[in-house]
Structure 1
């Protein structure tokens, strides 16, 4: 069992921020630290390794598992985006106080919430629990919600968590019940390489790809005029947004290119099916390049999420912060995959997404501390009250 003293929320955030958990790196040192910190009487720990063994989800529970799913799960991702920008005013993996903010990579997205969630579990007296409290910490959210997908598709025994889940992405402590999903597709066109002085010996792969890009632009425009269900909850972009994001092809101007790839991202609304949208892309591209063969592959999926407005978790959190009505975000989170296994998710955490993924990322200290107070309240209601 751990002999580590319970740190303050700010001190724990400082320790967490010091780990470089950029998605390209292993998160095992971070998982080891959190596991050691949580290795206390009454807390059960479980790791779920990535297929290559270099990453892991961490599941921590206190209190007896219940068949009725009562209790509460707090969830967040451990990875962060790179901090390679030259504009940092302080070392990105050193928590620095600047005025009334804490600055570090991941301070908002989302090690601030992780510190609060971990301490809520570490500071509990398990014997006082009437219903269980659990943590689900995931890997590689930033590069496609990979850890959450691994959890959702893994051993069902690992998924016996309390059904109501707070996913602590930065929402400035607003309660979010819907978000868009995202699919990532890659089109590949093949040609035949040749010297550009002898074009009759080759076949240019970029030319059909260019026609495909033009057709995708037309599809994007048509989709912008559509109003699918639930679009009213995303007033700025009430449609599925398509982006041709990466095009790769050719090696030199005197070589006819034999390969060209196009990567496409599409932000789906709740209720839209990835398979149907993928088939729509296939049909549009096939119509633009008759007679040309191409490959269409999925590079990843992060499902959309929607929690019913009348759900107890939504109403309870809205009551705590005095919020009325529905709020949504256009980015995807782990909640999309968690929802697929019957978990009821709300997005709720300190910090702003507007400062995430940027140099000098920060979290307001007052908001961080208020987040801890609100989690104390919801844990007390959900797990300790009679």
Structure 2
């Protein structure tokens, strides 16, 4: 390895070593990043979330009195308990150009490339700032970044754009669908199955919610359509259903988890409204019904003619991709009035799987992109 690539490797090794699993405290990784930035004279704003045991991090390189660009990534990773790992998922392992470990592609590789570029950015005479915005609990439906975005007006001038470094093979992405996920819980009345007239069967009641979900999903296939997406329409999918104790016991409890994926012209939670209405109507028959929103974020749709899209094409040398199926924090940046685009190292197909990896060439390409952005920020007035 060159000295440059070794620095990136060592940073990624440190980041992977923090088991910053979504939904758990993240003080260790936040404190390490803040200390690293401090060693270059960069002040970090550690922004505690309402949970009290995890935080976002925001830092600025360059002048604070001018609009600049945000490099955005999340510090959390999904659990690594699945079978099939050939090594400790929280210990970076190199095998040729492949670097294995949980979060290498999604998305500590991007964080490592950003942090490895810090010395070059600090040394550059930036005329516009580059901001680092690292969030928590993205993997739980982008729960951390909304708290960061509410603080943004106090931290910097309105940014020119945000680059969200989710794994995209270093090809910029202009659009993705929005999402809303919910858990429906029905509570009935138990009893012996020989006397169903004396109980309230929660599973039977849930079948009405399930039927409404299937009907709503079928209706969405009729449009509206946005051809850049696959499929080109919004969708609804039931992911889990749980309930019951034994075949001869009337089940008094059943829960169902459902999600909507929305094209840019649709609002994700609105897509679930017909299902919620059917669930709520069960209360008239004596059931208790609880509807819990698990996560929600809007779609992203950046015009191909936007300056940010042109900038990323210049930085990567690759024409931006129209859209992807997975979601990111980019839609929340756009909702906050900030142009956003997705571009980062790695491949989403490797994420959330055993033996997740990133290529050293992908890290190098990302670091080069960030350093080139720094050079552009030196020339902009």
1:285, CA displacement in angstroms? 5.3
Match of 2:140 in 1: 143
Matched, 1:240 2:234: yes
1:335, CA displacement in angstroms? 1.2
1:72, CA displacement in angstroms? 1.5
Match of 2:348 in 1: 353
CA distance in 1, matches of 2:35, 2:319: 40
1:155, CA displacement in angstroms? 6.8
Measured at CA, do residues 296 and 41 of structure 1 come closer, stay the same or move farther in structure 2, by a change above 3 Å? closer
CA distance in 1, matches of 2:285, 2:374: 61
1:345, CA displacement in angstroms? 0.9
- Residue 18 of structure 2 aligns to a residue whose secondary structure is coil
Match of 2:77 in 1: 80
Match of 1:60 in 2: 59
Match of 2:49 in 1: 50
Measured at CA, do residues 110 and 161 of structure 1 come closer, stay the same or move farther in structure 2, by a change above 3 Å? farther
Matches within 5 A, 1:112-151: 112-125=109-122, 128-151=125-148
Measured at CA, do residues 291 and 227 of structure 1 come closer, stay the same or move farther in structure 2, by a change above 3 Å? same
CA distance in 2, matches of 1:125, 1:279: 49
Match of 1:179 in 2: 176
Matched, 1:249 2:243: yes
Matched, 1:208 2:208: no
**Equivalent of 1:111, from 76, 101, 108?**
108
Structure 2: unaligned runs, 5 residues or longer: none
1:260, CA displacement in angstroms? 1.7
Between 118-127 and 146-155, report the one with greater CA deviation. 118-127
Match of 1:31 in 2: 30
Match of 2:268 in 1: 274
- Residue 43 of structure 1 aligns to a residue whose secondary structure is coil
Residue 177 of structure 1 contacts residue 307 of structure 1 at CA under 8 Å; is this kept in 2? yes
Kindly report the root-mean-square deviation, in angstroms, between the aligned alpha carbons of the 2 structures. 2.5
Measured at CA, do residues 66 and 379 of structure 1 come closer, stay the same or move farther in structure 2, by a change above 3 Å? same
Matched, 1:22 2:21: yes
Match of 2:186 in 1: 189
**Equivalent of 1:334, from 325, 329, 339?**
329
CA distance in 2, matches of 1:149, 1:53: 15
1:41, CA displacement in angstroms? 5.3
Residue 73 of structure 1 contacts residue 161 of structure 1 at CA under 8 Å; is this kept in 2? no
1:201, CA displacement in angstroms? 1.9
CA distance in 1, matches of 2:333, 2:128: 20
TM (norm. structure 1) is 0.90
1:358, CA displacement in angstroms? 0.6
CA distance in 2, matches of 1:202, 1:146: 39
Measured at CA, do residues 62 and 325 of structure 1 come closer, stay the same or move farther in structure 2, by a change above 3 Å? closer
Residue 216 of structure 1 contacts residue 285 of structure 1 at CA under 8 Å; is this kept in 2? no
CA distance in 2, matches of 1:325, 1:109: 20
- Residue 65 of structure 1 aligns to a residue whose secondary structure is coil
1:7, CA displacement in angstroms? 7.1
Between 10-19 and 320-329, report the one with greater CA deviation. 320-329
CA distance in 2, matches of 1:47, 1:383: 27
CA distance in 2, matches of 1:176, 1:227: 22
1:212, CA displacement in angstroms? 2.0
TM (norm. structure 2) is 0.91
Measured at CA, do residues 159 and 297 of structure 1 come closer, stay the same or move farther in structure 2, by a change above 3 Å? farther
Residue 175 of structure 2 contacts residue 324 of structure 2 at CA under 8 Å; is this kept in 1? yes
Match of 1:3 in 2: none
1:223, CA displacement in angstroms? 1.0
